Amino acid sequence: MRHKPINSKLFAQNRQRLTELMTPKAVAVLNANDLLPTNADGTLPMQPNADLFFLSGIEQEESVLLLFPDAAEAKHREILFLRQPSEHLKIWEGHKHTKADARKISGIKNVQWLSEFPMMFRALMCEAEAAYLNTNEHKRAVVEVETRDARFIRDCKRDFPLHNYRRLAPLLHQVRVVKTDLELELLREAVDITARGFRRLLRVVKPGVTEYEVEAELAREFIRHRGRFAYTPIVASGKNNCVLHYLQNDQTCRKGQLLLLDVGSSYANYNADMTRTIPVSGRFSRRQKKVYNAVLRVLRKGIAGATVGKLHRDWTREAQAHMTEELLKLGLLKPSQVKKQDPDKPACRKYFMHGLGHPLGLDVHDVGDANVPFAPGTVLTVEPGIYLPDEGFGIRLEDDIVVTEDGPINLMAKIPIEADEIESIMNR
């Protein structure tokens, strides 16, 4: 693992939070993600299963976690199954966890080899009355490739057709959306690495620099601090500012353009998500700064409005109302357009067509029920934008925040965002 060792207390706390929500006499099983193929004999880098990591800290392929809080024998209440190390694996793939490694990482005492899973699982299923099985239930997921979880669900229902099966995902979403102090420490580390990358860019960006050179500078800074890209970075100059998910990153930055940077570092699988828009020449034009400051005001109102008990849709509507005010001041909307707008399709969506933000954590678009009010410990992105393709530029700004009883805390408060501060650093 690239990151520093994590206190196993984090994973023990998470297991306890989950098992408290399970029905009596129920077993839960979580699988690692598959290693996905590319072409020929190639594979993509291993992407740890977020749920498995959340509960165990394990990032190794073919791992299985079994939780049975009401098991008759205490040693069967938490069992971690791992791929058994061998000389062959050591030569071809390198180190695999020993049982001692896994106990230290996860805090789980009962660690067994994967070959022991079928017999142990059968014995415990005969003792259990229900089984929680896991699958990707993110509302925006497009699942076209059969997963390890999907195969396990099919086999489980074939082998144990009379059991009561339940969905584990809703319980995991409930506990994952509220971050503990230990999780917030890891998120702050991801934010700190992101800040280092951005500050480096402010001294690098100038006319003639290519988008991919900017991406390379970010990669250097992230990797040297034990991080990696949380997602494919958006490095968008000029008219590319207005492409929401622009990923080409192959154009040259020109004098007078803006450069929109939607980037974030991941650290220990916890993700930062930041957007800044900066002037390639080191100075905003008068028009660019006027639009920039309008977006910044909406951002700050959006942060202030993320309070305990608020619903995500109400928070978004408030931001749309703030954005409408700014667009009227900029002359981009007319009062008549606002007066006759459809409440479900507000006029501001012509220039601000995406949502205000999303949950953040082990996934960039993290799990969580949008119909449940914000709770203390919820981490959100706040990312308003104004996109003006006819004028050749767009501006988006994004910070990551924590909702608390005492009001929202901005995790990115120390990352430069004021237009004057950005100009000052770029021209230093």
The domains found in the chain, sorted by start residue, are: 9-176 (3.40.350.10), 181-426 (3.90.230.10)
Angle at 165 between CA 82 and CA 129, to 5 degrees: 85
Whole-number Cα distances in Å, 341 to 41, 224, 228, 295, 298: 55, 50, 43, 21, 20
Structure tokens at 94: 């390198």
- Sheet with 110-113, edge to edge strand ranges: 110-113, 78-82, 64-67, 26-31, 130-133, 164-167
pLDDT, position 148: 95
Give which of 351, 392, 388 is closest to 255, Cα–Cα.
392
Q: What is the pLDDT along the chain (428 residues), one digit of tens a residue?
A: 789 999 999 999 999 999 999 999 999 999 999 999 999 999 999 899 999 999 999 999 999 999 999 999 999 999 999 999 999 988 888 899 999 999 999 999 999 999 999 999 999 999 999 999 999 999 989 888 899 999 999 999 999 999 999 999 999 999 999 999 999 999 999 999 999 999 999 999 999 999 999 999 999 999 999 999 999 999 999 999 999 999 999 999 999 999 999 999 999 999 999 999 999 999 999 999 999 999 999 999 999 999 999 999 999 999 999 999 999 999 999 999 999 999 889 999 999 999 999 999 999 999 999 999 999 999 999 999 999 999 999 999 999 999 999 999 999 999 999 999 999 999 98
Give which of 229, 232, 183 is closest to 57, Cα–Cα.
183
> Is residue 57 left, alpha or beta, with left meaning phi > 0 and alpha meaning psi from -120 to 50?
left
Write the DSSP assignment of 227-281 as a string of letters: -EESS--EEEEGGGGG-TT-----SBP-TT-EEEEEE-EEETTEE--EEEEEETT
Rounded distance, CA 111 to CA 105, Å? 11
Q: What is the CA radius of gyration of the chain?
A: 24
Asked if residues 66 and 28 have their Cβ atoms less than 8 Å apart, the reply is yes
Sign of the Cα torsion 328, 333, 334, 336 reads: negative
pLDDT, position 283: 97
Q: Tell the residue number behind the tokens 């072409």, with chain if given.
A: 39
Q: Tell the residue number behind the tokens 């939607």, with chain if given.
A: 262
pTM above 0.85?
yes
In 4-153, DSSP assigns E strands to: 26-31, 64-67, 78-82, 110-113, 130-133
Beta strands at 258-263 and 274-279: parallel, antiparallel or unpaired? antiparallel
